[in-house]
Amino acid sequence: MNAGDRTRMDDGTPGERTIMLVHGMWSGPHVWENFRAYFEASGYRVVTPTLRHHDVAPGAPVNPALATTSLAHYADDLEAGIRALGVRPFVVGHSMGGLLVQMLAARGLARGAALLASAHCAPVFALDPMVAWFFRRAFLTPFWRRTQLPSYDTMRWGALNGLDEEEARRLYATLIPESGRCLAEMAFWYLDRRRAAHVDASKVTCPLLFLTGSEDRLTPASIAWSTADYYGGKARIEFLRGRAHWLPSEPGWEEIAARVERFFRTETPRFQMETGAAEAAPEHFLPIPA
């Protein structure tokens, strides 16, 4: 890493203006096109990793190993990517990506974390009839060893309801199947002996900002509230009136990006000063040995 790559954060501490954007289920880095452009224009270095086995064109056969890929696999890959950067970034996650960001935060790998329409972690219970209806077809099969992609009608109802019809169809055409094992680890975490979705709140040393839409049917407000509450004073939650689940792409995404940037620029440094979290988790890492 060249010395010239370093800049100075607005709070006066040395560091890199680096943001990692983590996509969620069925998706890929393309979901962050708007956010990438926004943060790059604001002077940040933006990293948009592709989750394991998601580097496939829509409609093409997926790697059979995707069916049984675990949340832990995704989190380990993301950790390796962060350590290769050599610096703790700010991290933003959408949907399942929000859960992965919570996992990274508990590993001390984030300066601050923003969670958009985030999935819950264990041990938070997320019993909601809308979520059960969304996954009803998957739950009638041995989904934990298969890939799964809800139908367009289901996605239109529960995840893409904040988009107009044309944009919803365009976005759905970019999606690929997702790991059934990950779904099982999130939905039925209490049956998972490996505790893949478990996050120890006491190990999170950075502030968390939960943003959730009032019309989100896949990760509804009740789940978001319970998840944020699990982290106590480390988390704040804000409800977005009229917004749904696909927050990175819905109309008004600029306001969300601006809110996230303000959280990282002004609120995260204040949290670190008040709690001493900056000293608790070193900013720089050594690269992972080859």
Pair of tokens at residue 253: 């995404």
Residue 110 C-alpha from the chain's centroid: 12
C-beta atoms surrounding 9 within 10 Å:
17
Q: How many residues does the chain have?
A: 290
SS in 3 state form for 231-273? Answer: CHHHEEEEEECCCCCCCCCCCCHHHHHHHHHHHHHHHHHHHHH
Q: How far is CA 54 from CA 24, 27, 50, 142, 205, in A?
A: 10, 8, 6, 21, 30
Evaluate whether 287 touches 84 at the Cβ level (below 8 Å).
Answer: yes
CA dihedral 117, 35, 15, 199 (to 10 degrees): 20
* Pairwise CA distance, residues 163 & 251, whole Å: 7
Q: How far is CA 224 from CA 123, 209, 230, 242, in A?
A: 13, 11, 10, 16
Query: What are the tokens at 289?
Result: 């040995």
CA 114 to chain centre: 8
Residues 17, 3: Cα–Cα separation, whole Å: 13
Judged by DSSP in three states, 60 sits in coil
Compute the distance between CA of residue 147 and CA of residue 11 in angstroms, rounded to an integer.
44
* Tokens of residue 41, six digits: 């224009």
Backbone angles phi, psi at 48, to 5 degrees: -125, 85
pLDDT per residue, tens digit, the chain (290 aa), is 333 333 332 333 434 699 999 999 999 999 999 999 999 999 999 999 999 999 999 999 999 999 999 999 999 999 999 999 999 999 999 999 999 999 999 999 999 999 999 999 999 987 788 988 889 888 878 889 999 999 999 999 999 999 999 999 999 999 999 999 999 999 999 999 999 999 999 999 999 999 999 999 999 999 999 999 999 999 999 999 999 999 999 999 999 999 999 999 999 998 876 776 644 555 544 444 33
pLDDT value of residue 56: 95
The predicted pLDDT at position 133 comes to 85
